Structure formats: structure tokens, C-alpha cells
Amino acid sequence: MLKKRIFGIIIALLGIALLLTSFYIKSRIEEGKKQIAEAESKVNQGITLFSLNPITKEASKGFKESAQQKIDAAIEMVTYYETVVLWSQVGGALFVILGAGIVFMGRKK
């Protein structure tokens, strides 16, 4: 019985650790989204400035494509980590519930 309770406590603690980690990752994702928005704003501002003259407008196309590729890659990374956070939260909650269930089932017998 004692081994089951210890196992349950360990499972619950792992679930709590997983939840805390997912909340940390989520905060970092929000910071990344802000940085992406700032980058998009700067790119759009640069394009607006360079589009005033036909010569510089052509030159800015390469800049725009390069910057947009980096922004798109960052958006893909954010999407990936949002999925990781979602599954970490689900898994963490399940571990906490499972661990608590093992602890309480071990107490009754």
C-alpha cells in the first residue's frame, strides 16, 4: 500500500511539474508573438518607406521576401510550441488526477 501511495504522489508531482513547465512555455510563446508582431510592423514600415520611389521599390522586394521567410518560420515555430503546450497541459492534468486517484485509492484499502 505504501508503495502505491508513493507512486501516486510521484505521478501527481510529475503532473504538477508538467503543468508548471507548460505555463512557462506559454509565457515565452506570448513574448515571441509580441516580437513577431514588432518585426512585421518594422517590415511593413520599411516597405512603405521604400515604395515611394520606383527604384527603391524594386530593391525592397528582396528585403521583404527574406524578412517574410524569417517571420513565417517564427510563426510556424510558435504554432508548434502552442501544440506542445496544449498537450503538456492535458497530460499534466491527467497525471495529477491519476496520481491523486492512486493516493486516495491506496488510503481506502
Cα 86 to Cα 95: distance, rounded to the nearest angstrom: 14
Cα 6 to Cα 51: distance, rounded to the nearest angstrom: 67
5 and 107 in contact (C-beta within 8 Å)? yes
What whole-number percentage of the chain has pLDDT above 70?
Answer: 95
Instruction: Say which residues have a Cβ less than 8 Å from residue 36's Cβ, sequence separation at least 6.
Output: 71, 74, 75, 78
What is the average pLDDT across 56-73? 81
What whole-number percentage of the chain has pLDDT above 90?
Answer: 62
State residue 62's pLDDT score: 73
What is the rounded end-to-end Cα distance, in angstroms, of the chain? 8
What is the average pLDDT across 66-81? 92
State yes or no: pLDDT of 108 exceeds 70. Answer: no
As a residue count, the chain comes to 109
State yes or no: pLDDT of 29 exceeds 70. Answer: yes
What is the average pLDDT across 6-18? 95
